Amino acid sequence: MKTKSDTAQRQAARKFVEYWTFQRGSEKGEDQQFWNSLLRDVLGVVDVEQCIKYQVPVPMAARGDARPPNHQTTQLPNHQTKYLDAWIPETRVLIEHKSRGVNLDAPQAGHGGLTPYDQAAEYDNIIEGNALRMDWGEILAQRRRGAEIYVIGNPPFRGLSYRTDDQAADMDFVYEDWKDTNYGKLDYVCAWYKKAVDCVKGARCAFVSTNSICQGECVAAMWEPLFNRAAVEIDFAHLPFQWDNEAFDKAHVHCVIVGFHAGVSPSTATEKIIFDGDRIIRAANIDGYLLDAPNIFIRNRGNPPAGFEKLTQGSKPWDGGNLILSPEERAALVSAYPDCDSFIKQYLGAEDLIKGKIRYCLWLLNVSPARYRNIPEIMRRLAAVAEIRRKTKTVAVQKQADTPYLFSQIRQPDTDYLCVPEVSSEERRYIPIGFLSKDVIAANTVMTMSNATPCLFGMMSSKTHTAWVRTVAGRLESRFRYTPSVYNNFPWPDLCASASLREKISSTAQGILDARAAHPDCTLADLYDPLAMPPDLRAAHEANDRAVLAAYGLAPDTPEPEIVAHLFKLYTDKVEEKK
């Protein structure tokens, strides 16, 4: 366990490096001193002797055991015992210590002509190679000896935008027999689940994974074929958590842990358990969203239900920031050229909406060139936009270099509109949604809806809607990522059947807007901080929550899991009606 502060650890690390830099760290005489110092002085381990073991006897692999292609085995007798330089049991780390200056890629005399890397691979039960290209079943069969198999791992995470060509080819290889699934959009880690069900049926498996596998459109793409084609059952799951590493430039990764089996049930049945921090939930079934619920999948629906307005992404400039102005830049332009005021509009993205930041943009749609062509600052900016677009790899945007005065994608509402941030904190009880004038230009980091009614605002500002978002929306790290599909699939109550319910929700929605207006010095971030939410706004939201729950026939004190279960049932019923 780490006991040092970051500053103290950095200082200790520098001293450690200075001491061991020059001709120290001999493989034979100083390895134990090196590792004891690293663990105790740098990492702050208190009881080093209990943390690390030295000269641990380890059996060597028998010749003929599974090895990657082109691997050369030594001439040691089958399963001869050698001694491992060091072993950290808690983290299952095996250490081969080499002196400074040793070429790890070069064969070593006295080691059967093997490189240090190949020496490590000689230890029994260590198999080196591309896990997605190897036959796990064959490898495990050689070592099973009648025992139940557990496959546990922390595979690499790589989203669609970050995969290499080789990793994409790995996924094609693993999903060869499931080409009709939408696997191409999945994270690289998903291939390990498919590989496991192909190779080790009946075994128990558990993988640490990116939290994206249980959120948004990935759930149906990944879990539906696993459940329906491979008879996968989730045995246990740890809900999303932040996994910190010990690096000085820490990267926070948001993970889940999923334990599962496929095909024939393991010999020893266990109850299904969901871990939520320190809380344990005993489940009848664990679905792809890692909920105690039947296996239901939310499809990526392109349009809202009949009678509902469409939710659309805002306008995208693709300008390198050259069409965007700070308040100071706007003031300078308007002071020098007063006519500019009419085509410099307020520009608002998600962060602006939530944190109250003020920005502006050049909005030259349908503006005569005669009004701005002789303004040097504007023409300089347009020239920069044209250059950026010409250099992009996107062909459609390259063509838009001819119209640098226009946003690349224009989707500005022609009426006042509802504005939903694309990304917002999961810590808030409600998603901070705004009503904006059509003269405020919506950026591509918000969603817009024209002709939105107060009743619709009330529905989307309720804890019922937030519960839906929390369950089915994708995430950026742990924050909600709101997309049109989240809105399009939301199972709305039948508000047409009751004018009184519509009026009630419209009234409570107005109460929310009035409570916000009573705090003109506050941003939405201020108002919706769960620790600082003003009592009048909280009361207004709670009144709205009661009205929305009543529209679903639910009691005011219905807990969130029951709300979600009710929404999923409504969604399933609506899907069945369309069949």
At 519-539, the pLDDT tens digits run 999 999 999 999 999 999 999
pLDDT band at residue 318 under the 50/70/90 scheme: very high
User: Is the pLDDT confidence value at 163 over 80?
Assistant: yes
User: Phi then psi for 482, rounded to 5 degrees?
Assistant: -85, 130
At 354-405, the pLDDT tens digits run 999 999 999 999 999 999 999 999 999 999 999 999 999 999 999 999 999 9
pLDDT band at residue 263 under the 50/70/90 scheme: confident
* Model pLDDT, residue 560: 87
Percent of the chain with pLDDT over 90: 47
Buried b (16+ CB within 10 A) or exposed e, 554-563: beeebeeeeb
**Which two three-digit tokens encode residue 324?**
């965007």
The most confident of the ranges 47-61, 179-193, 292-306, 473-487 is: 179-193
Closest by CA to 489, choosing from 564, 579, 571, is: 571
Percent of the chain with pLDDT over 70: 87
* Model pLDDT, residue 321: 96
Buried b (16+ CB within 10 A) or exposed e, 130-145: ebbebebeebbeeeee
At 179-223, the pLDDT tens digits run 998 888 888 999 999 998 888 777 788 999 988 898 888 898 999
* Model pLDDT, residue 88: 84
CB 157 within 8 A of CB 116: no
User: Is the pLDDT confidence value at 248 over 50?
Assistant: no
The per-residue DSSP string of 512-560 comes to: HHHHHHT-TT--HHHHT-TTT--HHHHHHHHHHHHHHHHHTT--TT--H
Place of tokens 């996924």: 171
- Give me the residues paired with residue 260 across strands: 205, 234
Question: For residue 33, what are the CA distances in angstroms to 18, 20, 38, 94?
Answer: 15, 11, 9, 17
pLDDT band at residue 24 under the 50/70/90 scheme: low
Give dist(CA 407, CA 393) in Å, integer.
17
CB 69 within 8 A of CB 52: no
DSSP state, 61? P
User: Is the pLDDT confidence value at 170 over 90?
Assistant: yes
Mean pLDDT of the chain: 85
Amino acid identity of residue 33, one-letter, is Q
pLDDT band at residue 224 under the 50/70/90 scheme: very high
At 119-159, the pLDDT tens digits run 766 665 667 788 899 888 777 776 555 556 667 777 888 77
* Model pLDDT, residue 211: 87
User: Is the pLDDT confidence value at 324 over 90?
Assistant: yes
pTM above 0.85, yes or no: no
Query: Taking the CA atoms of the chain, what radius of gyration do you get in angstroms?
Result: 30
At 449-465, the pLDDT tens digits run 999 889 999 999 999 99
Instruction: Name the least confident of 120-129, 228-237, 315-324.
Output: 120-129
Query: Distance between alpha carbon 491 and the CA centroid of its chain, in Å?
Result: 25
At 532-577, the pLDDT tens digits run 999 999 999 999 999 999 999 999 999 888 898 899 888 888 877 7
At 54-82, the pLDDT tens digits run 888 876 655 444 343 334 444 444 456 67
409 Cβ contact list (under 8 Å, min separation 6)? 315, 316, 318, 444
At 392-435, the pLDDT tens digits run 999 999 999 999 999 999 999 999 999 999 999 988 999 999 99
